[in-house]
Structure 1
């Protein structure tokens, strides 16, 4: 794959790229996309589940149907962002179908997207139709337009009926799901036509409180009427009323059914990191500084350590001391504080200049005998 952004389109047509007969297939894509990549990573997510309530009343107006946005991060290092939309009539004019448009962000550009959530969750340039007569080759792109004027803030939580305790539960569930242990299923109390808009806004807000290593793995599906666990998807938003609560497989997952007021599967405990999030819920930009600090401190550690909540709980006490000169935790438990500091210095310690500077601060504080007021 080149260093440019690739495109891919998929629907039901008379023929496609991989099949000469009528049916669902890729109908156009950028030259930098390899067929093996498309078949392995894109085709399994080329679907659209019509909302059950709209199907039952045979709704014809496509504006009433939510789009479904999928965000994937294959092990090959790309970010895939796709949108599926309902189409009332296919090329025959006699049956409905759906249309998918994917952007594939190459590994070389991934970090910019990871650290700019608005680029990931506010894409404005999805196409909803394509004339096959235009050819099967789509251009490679330098950028993808996004909405940089939309404000995403904690007022969204009130609109969705999410209080601070519930948000911390949700954030923790997403963090745990990225470790591969469970999936997160969410339903929202909003009109179907606005469903994906609210799902994307909520995910962007959650994303701003996720450490970078969690961001680099997150997979999301913003709408389905047939909720099920899927590989590479950690968070699934489902149509209210369609989850089979008697399905024992869902009893093992995280459920946030905000449409019905049902939450299950997660307890937040006494996490210093989650408390820190609550303190900065209206100041998400300040979280970026902590994530940069954590990125530095965790350099060289294993994937399990990079994704463990405990790592960030430990780092909060060090960060408060380094940034805010808050040594309250140090004076409460000097041995524990020093052990924490040396734990993160044990790997690539000579490169972790902020931690080394913190060690010197500790020596200076101890020398002066300072204590918090």
Structure 2
């Protein structure tokens, strides 16, 4: 049977709907700032107008995006869709040469590039006539400046058909160059509908969504599912369990912390409440009071201090070691190891253990896999190393729901 029409809703209309229905409700929560749906819609409209008027972008043109998760990245997505352009987000961890290949293979006519990636912009300049920085950059007028200049303008939503491309979804390229899977307006709308019906029924604007992976990949599709129901999004890549307060009579079983300049503390703890039930989560110093003094063991950096600094990859302020002139006499040698996202934790830890070093630490994993017993699933689970020998690494882990599990890490666990 021949369909009467293959016309579908432009995916950018999800934002338009929220701006009309929930204009003053929070759309994006980034740091200490909220952006409402109405404000986000106005910014997207201004950016879409800039793309058409300043750069000549029209329906079917490709726009490459090299950026860590941020509000501006989502704005590029909706601006592209509003005018019928194709969004081409890249994994921001690609090398400049790899990104240049994407620029060439996608046929991008314009590129948004985070100001922290000047080498990537330079590598793509031979293939893309227009590069728009996200953040202050010598490349020229940046993303926010464009929006300010075009604020108040709102081009009409482009008419789209079911099979009109919306997103070039690039593979990782493990067996060669990355390849673009073409996601269409009709296909993505079907995925969003299916997720809302089968995976997340009852989702409303009263819920909240944490972005825990790069928006350039699956997290972008999941975020769009939330946006379709007006769910505010926190554009960071971390998750915290809800069990943070110990309560009276609780007993701390194990804890680890990082102490930074100015008294900043990031602590993971495992404790039993007064009834003996295990809990785990972040120990907040302002509400955690010990009933008696306790001894702790610590390591002080020699020639450096911990300082909480912004991290482009996660959107959080994270502890980093900053060199200082202060020297610490005496002490035993130790090595500070900081592991970045998308790495397999266990082989790295095993390499340290094989040389007879004792390992201490805390962090988060993309689900915790144990050598025996059921895994603790989830896009982000918090862990605390509880001990070790030369062949195994026991940990305690907690998921977003507050479920706590303990065991030996299996051979594959992704940060």
TM-score with structure 2 setting the length: 0.22
Ranked by relative contact order (alpha carbons within 8 Å, sequence separation 6 or more), the top structure is: 1
Higher helix proportion (structure 1 or 2): 1
